[in-house]
């Protein structure tokens, strides 16, 4: 998501975090630097950049947002507003995760 920055990336994270639950999702994403130790987003760790992007999603292909209702087999509850709300919950859980 950090590099691709596509609507589908955000949608997938929202749906998966809804399915897995916030604690598991936040924990996994907070530990993402362990999976990508050589990748940094400028001066930020990957986890920090993920948190920022989840809190304020700005996909490179924002025009695709209006196409979400046409995505095959997508639960209709996943409007862009619902995606952003779920992502904000994930970002908040990442920030407030207990060690």
Domain count for the chain, please give it: 1
Instruction: Please report whether residue 55 resides in a domain.
Output: yes
Question: Residue 25 falls within a domain, yes or no?
Answer: yes
Beta bridge partners of 44: 41
Residue 2 lies in a domain: no
CB contact at 8 A, 83 and 10: yes
Q: State the residue range of the domain holding 57.
A: 7-95
Alpha helices of the chain — where are they, by DSSP H?
A: 7-20, 22-30, 46-55, 80-95
How distant, in Å, are the alpha carbons of 15, 31, 55, 69, 72 from that of 80?
Answer: 12, 26, 13, 10, 15
For the stretch 6-25, pLDDT in tens is 999 999 999 999 999 999 99
Q: In 3-state terms, what secondary structure has residue 37?
A: coil
- pLDDT digit string, tens, across residues 34-76: 877 666 555 678 889 899 999 999 999 999 999 999 999 999 9
Residue 27 in domain: yes
1 inside domain: no
Q: Is residue 78 part of a domain?
A: yes
The predicted model scores a pTM of 0.88
């Amino acid at each position: 998501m950090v590099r691709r920055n596509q609507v589908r990336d955000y949608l997938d994270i929202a749906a998966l975090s809804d399915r897995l639950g916030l604690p598991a999702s936040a924990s996994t994403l907070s530990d993402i630097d362990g999976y990508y130790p050589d990748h940094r987003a400028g001066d930020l760790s990957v986890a920090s950049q993920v948190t920022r992007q989840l809190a304020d999603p700005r996909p490179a292909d924002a025009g695709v947002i209006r196409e979400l209702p046409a995505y095959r087999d997508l639960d209709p509850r996943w409007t862009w507003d619902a995606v952003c709300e779920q992502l904000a919950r994930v970002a908040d859980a990442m920030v407030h995760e207990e060690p």
